[in-house]
């Protein structure tokens, strides 16, 4: 017996490898502080949890949920896009609830790419864009995200024969892992580019509500006409501290969403109705707590920036959004060897930039998703680290 050959082209998910290292460190008695993975440390507000409990206690909320999400959830998602981003969407054809955005991202490749098709993916980037293309036998063209371009891909550097072959482009702002943000005018250029070459533009925006210093991230769908070529993925995981609940959404181009639901209806059977009901509460209730939560992240960002920039003297940008710092490592190390040394000597776990693609080499990704008290301890340990 053997597993499918397609697994040969898939490296083990980076965080599974990291977990093995952490187990070893913990077995040696190290108090590990995990600044590697980007999961919010806090729970959602009590009214969201109460809505889940209330709905879960209803006898009628335990059956199969259907493929399209409840009308109330679809309406809440569309209304959220209208009030938060000024984007108007059709509640029937232009929104699709997902079991977390990761599921939708992976299934989008099944829905849109045939074997041998080409996907344009950011490098460094969230690994699922690349892996989902590989899983369906598609090819990947890397769009380098370089510091000198503000970690935006240079669309004019994509060769025209590549653009003509491409069927799908992934973008992600606020960006994981670089922490970069994109302006609406960059999104306009991306929409123009994808319209010219008839490429499905998939914009992944799960950090749009994790912003600092008064910044507000735009939606790509706010570009006039974007829906002709674009789908945006979003999620309650980071915006509402609901990463484990698995609620995401895809919005925009109706043809792409119809293809996605056709695939999904053969794979999953929807989101637990009680979770959908609680997600409605999350999206329609008081959103003011988000600013307080972001202020906490911002404090952690500043604690870590102080060490990386002032104590270590590394080149590191101050992110205006997202959960991550993206410092450049000192010469003489690979990102993996530097991350290993940090873990070994301080017990602080960070992610090597190479985990996100070849152009992530030379960087570390450091997350603010631990309590402020733990981040403070981590910052003190890191301050004493010599390299």
Ligand X SMILES: Cc1ncc(COP(=O)(O)O)c(C=O)c1O
| Beta carbon nearer to ligand X, 204 or 277 | 204
Helix axes 101-112, 254-264, angle to 10 degrees: 100
**Interaction between residue 38 and ligand X (CB under 6 A):** yes
Lookup result for tokens 């240079």: 154
Helix axes 273-284, 46-56, angle to 10 degrees: 150
Alpha-carbon distance of 191 to 185, in angstroms, equals: 10
| Beta carbon nearer to ligand X, 38 or 319 | 38
Alpha-carbon distance of 141 to 358, in angstroms, equals: 12
**Interaction between residue 237 and ligand X (CB under 6 A):** yes
**Interaction between residue 252 and ligand X (CB under 6 A):** no
Neighbours of 222 (CB within 10 A): 16
* Phi, psi dihedrals of residue 96, rounded to the nearest 5°: -140, 115
**Interaction between residue 204 and ligand X (CB under 6 A):** yes
Shortest Cβ distance from residue 246 to ligand X (Å)?
Answer: 7
Alpha-carbon distance of 359 to 146, in angstroms, equals: 8
Pattern 133-172, ligand X, x by CB under 6 A: ---------------------------------------x
Alpha-carbon distance of 39 to 103, in angstroms, equals: 16
Shortest Cβ distance from residue 116 to ligand X (Å)?
Answer: 26
**Interaction between residue 34 and ligand X (CB under 6 A):** no
**Interaction between residue 359 and ligand X (CB under 6 A):** no
Of residues 86 through 105, those in contact with ligand X by CB under 6 A are: 100-102
**Interaction between residue 122 and ligand X (CB under 6 A):** no
* Total chain residues near ligand X (CB under 6 A): 13
Alpha-carbon distance of 294 to 369, in angstroms, equals: 11
Shortest Cβ distance from residue 112 to ligand X (Å)?
Answer: 17
Categorise residue 179: left if φ over 0, alpha if ψ from -120 to 50, beta otherwise: left
Alpha-carbon distance of 117 to 310, in angstroms, equals: 46
* Contact window for ligand X (CB under 6 A) among 61-69, 146-154, 235-243, 357-365: 235-243
Shortest Cβ distance from residue 14 to ligand X (Å)?
Answer: 12
| Beta carbon nearer to ligand X, 201 or 243 | 243
Rule CB under 6 A: choose which of 243, 274, 283, 342 binds ligand X.
243
Shortest Cβ distance from residue 354 to ligand X (Å)?
Answer: 17
Separation of CA 268 from chain center: 21
User: Residue 140: beta bridge partners?
Assistant: 119
| Beta carbon nearer to ligand X, 243 or 307 | 243
Alpha-carbon distance of 198 to 88, in angstroms, equals: 23
User: Residue 172: beta bridge partners?
Assistant: 204
| Beta carbon nearer to ligand X, 70 or 178 | 178
| Beta carbon nearer to ligand X, 235 or 241 | 235
Contacts to ligand X by CB under 6 A: 38, 100-102, 126, 172, 176, 204, 206, 235, 237, 243, 248
């Amino acid at each position: 017996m053997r597993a499918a050959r397609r697994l040969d082209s898939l490296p083990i998910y980076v965080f599974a490898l990291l977990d093995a290292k952490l187990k070893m460190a913990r077995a040696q008695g190290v108090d590990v502080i995990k600044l590697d993975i980007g999961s919010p440390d806090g729970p959602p507000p009590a009214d969201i949890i109460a809505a889940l409990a209330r709905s879960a206690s209803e006898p009628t909320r335990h059956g199969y949920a259907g493929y399209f999400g409840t009308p109330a959830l679809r309406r809440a998602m569309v209304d959220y896009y209208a009030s938060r981003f000024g984007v108007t969407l059709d509640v029937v054809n232009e929104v699709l609830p997902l079991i977390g955005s990761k599921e939708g991202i992976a299934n989008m490749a099944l829905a849109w790419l045939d074997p041998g098709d080409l996907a344009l993916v950011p490098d460094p980037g969230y690994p699922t864009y690349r892996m989902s293309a590989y899983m369906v036998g598609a090819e990947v063209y890397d769009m380098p995200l370089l510091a000198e371009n503000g970690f935006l891909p240079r669309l004019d550097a994509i060769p025209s024969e590549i653009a003509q072959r491409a069927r799908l482009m992934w973008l992600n702002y606020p960006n994981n892992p670089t922490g970069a943000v994109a302006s609406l005018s960059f999104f306009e250029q991306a929409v123009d580019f994808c319209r010219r070459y008839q490429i499905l533009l998939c914009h992944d925006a799960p950090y749009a509500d994790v912003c600092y210093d008064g910044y507000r991230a735009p939606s790509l769908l706010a570009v006039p006409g974007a829906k002709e070529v674009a789908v945006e993925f979003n999620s309650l995981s980071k915006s509402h501290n609901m990463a484990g609940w698995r609620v995401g959404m895809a919005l925009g181009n109706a043809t792409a969403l119809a293809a996605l639901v056709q695939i999904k209806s053969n794979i999953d059977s929807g989101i637990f109705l009680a979770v959908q009901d609680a997600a409605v509460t999350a999206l329609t209730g008081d959103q003011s707590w988000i600013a307080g939560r972001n202020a906490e992240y911002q404090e952690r960002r500043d604690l870590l920036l102080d060490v990386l920039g002032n104590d270590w003297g590394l080149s590191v940008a101050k992110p205006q959004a997202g959960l991550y710092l993206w410092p450049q490592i000192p010469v003489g190390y690979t990102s993996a060897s530097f991350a290993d040394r940090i873990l070994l000597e301080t017990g602080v776990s960070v992610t090597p930039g190479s985990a996100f693609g070849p152009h992530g080499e030379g960087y570390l990704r450091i997350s603010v998703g631990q309590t402020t008290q733990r981040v403070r301890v981590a910052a003190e340990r890191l301050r004493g680290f010599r390299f």
